[in-house]
């Protein structure tokens, strides 16, 4: 493999491409054909301007480019680089005239039309259409970048993402982030064989073309990929629900209901997730009593967030048919604190607030206000809790679970953030929870932070807080509150963290907050859900407030209004 150059910023794009290719080969090189492996060798053998040009062009969306426009890509002597790419079989000049028209600017399209004696006025689409099927309207030389699908495949394998973004390497480089070291575990590969990879790619690239039947068939099979970011199940589920909603809006309620019920009966979504949608299709067909019965059946198998939506629908339909709806037990509500701030000019839909001469969103404005009176607050939401999770379970991340650490350069096992994480490490996870319950959370967080800070650790946001701040928070939350949140994240995955409070206010001096009522702030840890005018508590937030309050965690609702 050629030595990576470090002569300047331009060579970094080559280094990034090489790193992507290396990671991709590491994770799926055995799935490449001999011809593809040869292409990879030719890409890695490139150097200088040709390597930079290929790295830049493969990171862009188009696959065809006008050669005279390549100088703007920061490539000296682009004609020589183009010639080298063509000679290496990594590009050619086979660009159809219709492709050229699709990638021309409006002035060049107008000039082309004038050259052929065609009208030159009109929108871009009209100009392109006039040139369809015509040739010889320009002397420009064009370049087609070859093997983009192969580079894309390696990017997906490298980043373990359906839609990879090479710019994440730039962010990593700027932050001096390092990868953790761990022992690889045995794995049959991210995909069983090349056939499985190609079938997965066909689905990933054709999601928008799937119909409801195809979505349900795929969800019942094994084509949707390995754990982690390459798993297509969530995307296919979302596509199925989207199509069913379109059918529902078009009045095809029976068709929509079949899809909703098939998703539930197949175990692809929880029963309560689509209960209201099924009820609405029955209502639309005049079956309000059946709709109410379906909601009642679904309520028992639903989580607290879903039960709130089901309850609203049940009360509404119950009133319509003259039947009562038994209410769920009420949730605990946080104490309300009103805060008045100066409004700042805003061009967008979300209001801004003026603090210290700076216009900020409502959450950031409250953080600034607190800082001005000597209290630090973290605008954390779910990131705080996944950071605490990552530090508490860091050792479990790298336990030798078969198939979960199959390749180098992972920030955590393939199943981290999912319910499967706990199932595969029950003994280690139980030991951590016992330690938290015994009041050891702070010591465990401090030890893990000293070992892992600066490494890429899934869930951890190092910029959020220092080790001492995290220890203060863990100690202030207390074992009961931590256990309540950790159990939820373990059982339901990290997505269940949605709805956790906006701000975590660190311990500090008891202070009086000007413009607030009540005005005195306690010395202890306090979580605040911040809402501006017209903003309301969502179901997930209300449920989390109840959970935290039941566990003895201090939570407040801060309502911000104009002073």
For the stretch 157-202, pLDDT in tens is: 988 889 988 877 766 666 556 889 999 888 777 888 899 999 999 9
Distance between CA atoms of 451 and 346, rounded to whole angstroms?
A: 44
How far apart CA 19 and CA 408 sit, in angstroms, is 12
Q: pLDDT tens digits for 447-465?
A: 999 999 989 999 999 999 9
Confidence at residue 27, expressed as pLDDT on a 0 to 100 scale: 86
By C-alpha distance, which of 147, 146, 143, 163 is closest to 155? 163
**Average pLDDT score, the chain:** 91
Pick from 74-78, 246-250, 365-369: least confident: 74-78
pLDDT in tens, 377-404: 998 789 999 999 999 999 999 999 998 9
CA nearest neighbour of 370 among 555, 469, 508, 545:
508
pLDDT exceeds cutoff 50 at 32: yes
pLDDT of residue 17: 92
Assign 357 a pLDDT band (cuts: 50, 70, 90): confident
For position 1, what pLDDT does the model report?
Answer: 34
Query: What residue ranges do the domains of the chain occupy?
Result: 9-93+141-174, 194-321, 335-562
pLDDT at res. 169: 75
Say if residue 286 is exposed, middle or buried (CB neighbours under 10 Å; 0-12, 13-18, 19+).
Answer: exposed
Q: Is the pLDDT of residue 39 over 60?
A: yes
What distance in Å separates the CA atoms of residue 48 and residue 106, rounded to the nearest whole number?
A: 33
Closest listed residue to residue 29, CA positions, set 382, 366, 406, 503: 406
List the strands of the sheet with 142-145, edge to edge: 64-66, 142-145, 91-92
Q: Which CATH class is domain 9-93+141-174?
A: mainly alpha
- Residue 21: band (very low, low, confident or very high) from pLDDT cuts 50, 70, 90: very high
Res 7 pLDDT > 80 = no
Q: Please, what CATH class does the domain formed by 194-321 belong to?
A: mainly alpha
Q: For 176-287, where are the alpha helices, taking DSSP H only?
A: 194-205, 212-219, 233-249, 253-265, 275-284
Residue pLDDT, tens place only, 102-144: 999 999 999 999 999 999 999 999 999 999 999 999 999 999 9
Tell me, what DSSP letter sits at residue 208? G
* Rounded Cα–Cα distance for residues 354 and 361 (Å): 9
> What percentage of the chain exceeds 70 in pLDDT?
96
Q: For position 235, what pLDDT does the model report?
A: 93
Q: Which among 397, 555, 398, 378 is positioned nearest to 462, based on CA atoms?
A: 378
323: number of Cβ within 10 Å: 13
CB 502 within 8 A of CB 363: yes
């Amino acid at each position: 493999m050629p030595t990576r150059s470090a002569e300047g910023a331009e060579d970094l794009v080559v280094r990034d491409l090489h790193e992507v290719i290396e990671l991709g080969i590491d994770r799926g090189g055995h799935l490449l054909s001999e011809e593809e492996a040869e292409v990879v060798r030719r890409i890695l053998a490139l150097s200088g301007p040709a390597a930079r040009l290929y790295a830049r062009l493969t990171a862009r969306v188009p696959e065809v480019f006008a050669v005279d426009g390549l100088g703007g890509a920061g490539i000296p002597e682009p004609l020589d680089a183009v010639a080298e790419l063509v000679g290496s079989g990594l590009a050619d000049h086979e660009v159809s005239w219709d492709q050229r028209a699709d990638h021309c600017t409006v002035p060049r399209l107008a000039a082309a039309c004038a050259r052929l004696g065609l009208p030159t006025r009109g929108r871009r689409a009209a100009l392109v259409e006039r040139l369809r099927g015509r040739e010889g309207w320009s002397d420009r030389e064009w370049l087609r970048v070859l093997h983009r699908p192969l580079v894309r495949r390696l990017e997906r394998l490298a980043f373990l993402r359906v839609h990879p973004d090479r710019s994440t390497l730039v962010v990593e480089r700027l932050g001096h982030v390092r990868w953790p070291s761990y022992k690889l575990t045995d794995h049959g590969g991210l995909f069983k064989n090349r056939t499985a990879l190609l079938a997965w790619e066909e689905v990933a690239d054709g999601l928008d073309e799937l119909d409801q039947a195809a979505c349900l068939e795929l969800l019942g099979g094994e084509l949707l990929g390995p754990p982690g970011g390459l798993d297509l199940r969530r995307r296919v589920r979302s596509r199925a629900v989207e199509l069913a909603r379109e059918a529902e809006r078009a009045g095809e309620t029976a068709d929509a209901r079949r899809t909703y019920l098939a998703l539930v009966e197949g175990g692809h979504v929880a029963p309560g997730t689509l209960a209201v949608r099924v009820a609405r299709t029955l209502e639309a067909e005049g079956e309000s009593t059946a709709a109410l019965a379906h909601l009642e059946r679904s309520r028992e198998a639903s989580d607290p967030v879903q039960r709130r939506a089901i309850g609203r629908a049940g009360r509404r339909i119950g009133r319509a048919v003259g039947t009562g709806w038994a209410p769920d037990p009420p949730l605990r509500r946080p104490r309300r604190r009103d805060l008045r701030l100066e409004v700042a000019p805003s061009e967008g839909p979300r209001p801004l607030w003026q603090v210290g001469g700076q216009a900020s969103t409502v959450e950031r404005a409250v953080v600034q206000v607190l800082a001005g009176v000597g209290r630090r607050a973290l605008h954390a939401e779910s990131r705080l809790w996944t950071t605490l999770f990552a530090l508490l379970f860091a050792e479990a991340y790298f336990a030798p679970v078969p198939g979960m650490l199959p390749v180098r350069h992972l920030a955590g096992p393939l199943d981290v953030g999912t319910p499967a994480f706990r199932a595969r490490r029950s003994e280690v996870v139980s030991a951590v929870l016992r330690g938290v319950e015994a009041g050891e959370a702070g010591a465990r967080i401090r030890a893990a932070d000293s070992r892992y800070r600066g490494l890429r650790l899934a869930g951890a946001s190092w910029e959020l807080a220092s080790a001492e701040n995290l220890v203060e928070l863990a100690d202030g939350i207390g074992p009961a509150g931590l256990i309540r949140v950790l159990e939820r994240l373990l059982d339901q995955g990290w997505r269940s963290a949605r709805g956790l409070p906006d701000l975590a206010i660190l311990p500090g001096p008891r202070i009086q907050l000007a413009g607030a009522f009540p005005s005195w702030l306690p010395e202890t840890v306090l979580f605040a859900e911040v809402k501006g005018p017209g903003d309301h508590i969502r179901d997930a937030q209300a449920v989390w407030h109840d959970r935290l309050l039941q566990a003895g965690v201090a939570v407040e609702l801060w309502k911000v209004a104009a002073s």
